[in-house]
Chains A and B, each alone.
Chain A
Amino acid sequence: MNTTTADHDMEGRSALSKLWTNREARSVILQILTMAALIGFFAFILTNAVANLAAVGKTFSYDFLGEPASYDINQSLIDYTSRDTHLRAGVVGLLNTGLVAICGIVLATVLGFILGVLRLSPNFLLNKISYVFIEFTRNVPVLLHILLIHGIIVHALPHPKVASTEYNLADLFFLSNRGVFAPKPLMEPLFWATIIAFVVGVGFTIWFRRHAKKVQDETGKIYPVFWISVAAIIGLPVIVFFITGAPINWDVPEFQRFNFKGGMVVLPEFMALWLALSLYTAAFIGEIVRAGILSVSHGQWEAAGALGIRRGRILNLVIIPQALRVIIPPLTSQYLNLTKNSSLAIAIGYMDIVATLGGISLMQTGKEMETMILVIAVYLVISLMISAFMNWYNKRIKLVER
């Protein structure tokens, strides 16, 4: 109807302007123009890239991934020597990124929840201390945190020689500027029994939680779910561990002439990156948690109390589910930020994927385009995976509305 009246008004105008006034036609024209601009842009940069690569005599290929990397990596979760390929060096870097990201997420979440709760505590002093800590931490660049903590570890902690006598915990743990040295567990074959017991415990807990919920829904009977879960997940493996005769040996670090030998070492680079990322992200998570808890109105506490529910169960059944709904989305983006910020590792020489594949491999092979595309693709995949998981979790805990 609209178009017919519009058509009357526009008699005498050119066909083109008629087309422009029509909503559908205009949207088609706009999209064709966008598409053309986009295709033109990509064609432009691709022809340029081809011409430029030809001019410097480079080809676009990923063959270099199979060639020996010939550089060392100081921390590796899988076996790696400088004779291995660039691909393997990249995988080592990726694993290091994953390691620091996962450790960071765990520590940041724990610290962040503590900070958020302290921020709401009625105690004036603790409240203000956590406020000052949060503001100072989150208003300073994360790169500065990394460099500062790395500087403190390298300059303030003693050389291994001093550490072997002074910074020493029960002759097992040593704190030095070459890293933290700790005993390394060496598993005997029977240790598998403990691992199996652990898996069984987790499986049992999942089943038991469902079962307990069903029983409660049907009969109102409440099982002590928490303690039974603890017993299944922690108690069962511990019992199996001791029944099988504690099948684990410890490789204790020992000081020899210049450095410690044996055991396992947490490098200062990892420590600095891990602590800096965790503290920085924890400050943000603290504020998120605080906002989430505050978003649940006081009436919810009172209503649940009026129903005669105990305080602990109010928190569990009423407050936390509602607060989580507010907390989860920003928490996801903090996890993503932490993972992306772990790429700053390159500033202190922690060998993550940017430092191996995008750093040394790039320099050695001169394949800027190929390595950067790989690194970017890896980060995109990681980001998409984390956000997909958190979206799934978010959907699961979402309150069901009418």
Chain B
Amino acid sequence: MSEVAQHYPPGQHPDMPPPAGQRGVLLWLRTNLFSSWINTLMTIVAVYLLYKIVPPLLDWAVLDAVMNAANRDECRQLGSGACWAFINDRFSILVYGFYPAAERWRVDMSFILLCLALVPVLFDHVPFRKPGLIFSCVYPLIAGWLLLGGFGLQPVGTDEFGGMMLNTVVGVTGIAFSLPLGILLALGRQSHLPIVKSCSVCFIEFIRGVPLITLLFVASTMLNYFLPPGTTFDLLLRVLIMVTLFSSGYIAEVVRGGLQAIPKGQYEAADSMGLKYWQSMRLIVLPQALKISIPGIVNTFIGLFKDTTLVLIIGLLDVLGIGKSSLADAQWNGLSNEIYVSIALFFFIFCFGMSRYSIYLEKKLDKGYKR
């Protein structure tokens, strides 16, 4: 003791480490798991739950699972867990649907180009952002050409679209077109013109009041009645229109929330600068409103992407439709868990990614405003 005191002048003694049990792993355990008797009890319950759920799940999905087999019976002989051989067998049809095998590179190509087109839209600090954005605007045309064919490529009918590719096509198209439409509807709902306003309100409330599935039924059974006699158009196109209209109603409400959150002073300031309606919206109001509504918009997009599975009910074979119908195969019958779990994983990866991106964006946009 006296030695220590000699080395340090008064008040200059370096801090001693906290006593054992007040630091490191032990402290963490105490504060997070055993802080009170209730907390301890909850820890025990949680550990028991994990013990009950995790090992059997692990056994089923990994340890006892069979990767390669010719049919279900062989799977059952090889292991008691999941029969992933089924997914192996069906993988290409789950991804591409009935797209002609020789032309599948076009689907791959358009997916890779989609990723490239998304980068400049999603992130600020990327090289060549300006030309990249132009490419993103042109992308829909390129993708349409690649997927549908024509102009030198072998044409492929939309009835051959299917699997994850169909989900992505419906999802991406719906997202791309519903955002501008939704913004217009939101502006219409905030408009001072009573007729424009009431039209927007009626449309939005109608869309939000009915399930998507009824709209899809309308698209598949009833829409032809409303077109000039003799016109028929593609079922996929009809579905795309309905999905776009549906999600634009939800986007409109999210954007309206953003518009209402902008202080009145901003509108008045824009007016007093002599800006016209569209100028003030484009330069002053919408940038702020959209920024606030980003989390809601991304949530709507996640919902839209999940809702693309509903097309199976009107007979389009998306990934879930193909999965469901391949259960009827006598060789692989009764393997519903395997197929549904893998499809669930596919959706989880995409939707979870989107929600993470929205959190990243929120943080990025929030920076300047934190006190």
Q: Which residues from chain A sit less than 8 Å from chain B, CB to CB?
A: 27, 30-31, 34-35, 38, 45, 48-49, 51-53, 55, 121-126, 129, 135-136, 139-144, 147-148, 151-152, 154-155, 336, 340-341, 343-344, 346-347, 354, 358, 362, 368-369, 372, 375-376, 379-380, 383-384
Contact = CB atoms under 8 A, between A and B. Distances in A.
A52 B50 contact: no
B140 to A, nearest CB: 24
B226 A45 contact: yes
B270 to A, nearest CB: 15
Contacts of B32: 122-124
Nearest to B212: A340
B313 A344 contact: yes
7 smallest A-B Cβ distances: which pairs?
A151-B336, A125-B46, A139-B351, A124-B32, A340-B211, A383-B209, A141-B306
A53 B225 CA distance: 7
B113 to A, nearest CB: 25
Name the prevailing secondary structure of the B interface residues: helix
A136 B348 contact: yes
Contacts of A124: 32-33
20 contacts: A27-B192, A34-B195, A49-B225, A53-B225, A121-B42, A123-B39, A125-B43, A135-B352, A140-B306, A142-B306, A144-B309, A144-B343, A148-B344, A155-B334, A155-B337, A346-B213, A354-B217, A368-B222, A372-B218, A376-B218
A340 B212 CA distance: 8
B312 interface: yes
Contact of B214 (A142, A155, A375): A375
B332 interface: no
Given A135-B348, A154-B336, A344-B211, 12 more contacts: A35-B195, A49-B225, A52-B224, A123-B39, A139-B347, A140-B306, A140-B347, A144-B340, A340-B210, A343-B213, A346-B213, A354-B213
Nearest to B32: A124
B348 A372 contact: no
Contacts of A53: 225
A122 B310 CA distance: 39
A344 B306 CA distance: 13
B198 to A, nearest CB: 10
Given A48-B225, A48-B226, A121-B42, A379 B336 contact: no
Q: Is the interface of A mostly helix, strand, loop or mixed?
A: helix
B324 A147 contact: yes
Interface string B13-41: 00000000000000000011101000100
B193 interface: yes
Contact of A141 (B192, B199, B209, B307): B307
A174 B306 CA distance: 35
Contact of A151 (B39, B50, B217, B340): B340
A141 B320 contact: yes
Contacts of B320: 141, 143-144, 147
A149 to B, nearest CB: 9
A368 B213 CA distance: 14
B221 to A, nearest CB: 4
A110 to B, nearest CB: 18
A343 B211 CA distance: 7
A122 B29 CA distance: 11
B340 A148 contact: yes
Interface string B188-228: 00001111100100000010111111100110011011111
Contact of B45 (A55, A126, A139, A147): A126
B229 interface: yes
B210 A376 contact: yes
Contact of B193 (A27, A55, A136, A155): A27
B168 interface: no
A352 to B, nearest CB: 10
A352 B28 CA distance: 51
Nearest to A30: B193
Nearest to B327: A151
Contact of B348 (A30, A48, A121, A140): A140
Interface residues of B, number: 57
A52 B232 CA distance: 12
Contacts of B306: 139-142
Interface in B269-296: none
A143 B309 contact: yes
Nearest to A384: B209
Given A343-B211, A358-B217, A52 B336 contact: no
Contact of A379 (B35, B42, B209, B222): B209
Nearest to B308: A141
A144 B346 CA distance: 11
B214 A379 contact: yes
B355 interface: yes
Most chain-A Cβ atoms within 10 A of its Cβ — which of B206, B226, B302?
B226
Nearest to A52: B225
A155 B218 contact: no
Nearest to B33: A124
B194 to A, nearest CB: 7
Contacts of B192: 27
Nearest to A145: B344
A336 B137 CA distance: 36
B153 interface: no
B47 A354 contact: no
A45 B193 CA distance: 25
Nearest to B310: A143
Q: Which of A122, A142, A144, A148 has the most CB of B within 10 A?
A: A144
B347 A144 contact: yes
A347 B313 contact: yes
B225 A125 contact: no
B5 interface: no
Contacts of A135: 348, 352
A384 B201 CA distance: 13
A171 B49 CA distance: 28
Contacts of B46: 123, 125-126, 129
- Which of A139, A142, A154 counts the most chain B CB atoms within 10 A? A139
B109 interface: no
A347 B318 CA distance: 14
Interface string B31-70: 1110100010011011101100000000000000000000
Contacts of B212: 340
B291 to A, nearest CB: 19
Contact of B229 (A48, A142, A343, A347): A48
B341 interface: yes
A216 B214 CA distance: 52
B309 A49 contact: no
A45 B224 CA distance: 10
Contacts of A31: 193-196
